[in-house]
Structure 1
C-alpha cells in the first residue's frame, strides 16, 4: 500500500503552520487507523489488568482465609498474588513494546515524517550512522 496522502500546508513556508497541519492530520484515515491499533491493545490489556488487580484487592479484603493459605514454606497465596502483580505488569510492558514496534510505530513514523515535512526514514535505519 503506497498511497500518498498529503496534509495541507498553511502559511506558504516549508514548515507550514504546524498547529493547522496537526489538526488536519486528525482527519487522515491513517491517523484514525493508528489510534484504533493503539486502542485495540490498550483497552483490553488495561481492563484485564484492572480486573486482575481488583481480584487481588477484593480477595485480600474479603477472603483472608484463602489468601493466608500457605503454598510453599511460609509463602502464602497473598504473597504469590502480590508477586504476580509485578510479573503481570512487566508482561504487559513487553507485550505492548512488541505490539507498538510491529503495529503502531511504523505508521506513527510515517505520519510524523509527513507532518514534519521531512523525508521518510525506514524504521530499521533510524539512528544508524551514514
Structure 2
C-alpha cells in the first residue's frame, strides 16, 4: 500500500493536463482574516511557480466587500512566474512573493492591502498588476 505524502496532491494538480475548469489558489491560505490581505503561507509563490512551471499564466483576482457591503470582484492582467528549478526558484522566493502579492494588492483598495499597502507607482498598470477600475465587476451579493 502506498503511503500518501503531503506532495501527492500538488503533484497531481501540476501533472494533470486538461483540467476541466480553472484552479483557484489563495496564497495566504487560511491566514487571512477581517477581509485584509494577509502575508502568504511560506513558499506559496514558489509553489505557484512550481505548479505553473513558468508556462501557465496566473490570473490575479481580488474579491472583497466595500464599506457599503457591495461585493466587488477585480481581475488583473495574467502573468507568469519563472521556473528555473526548485533551488533557484526558492532563492528568488521573496521576489516572487512580492510579485504575486503585489498583483493582488494592486486590485484592492488601500485599506485592504494589509502588509502590501505600498503598491509602487505605476504598479497598477504594469503586467500582472491591472488597475482594478479597468476590470472590476460590482454587484449586489443578495
| TM-score, L = length of structure 1 | 0.24
* Structure showing greater relative contact order (alpha-carbon pairs closer than 8 Å, 6 or more residues apart): 1
| TM-score, L = length of structure 2 | 0.22
Which structure has the highest helix share of the two?
1
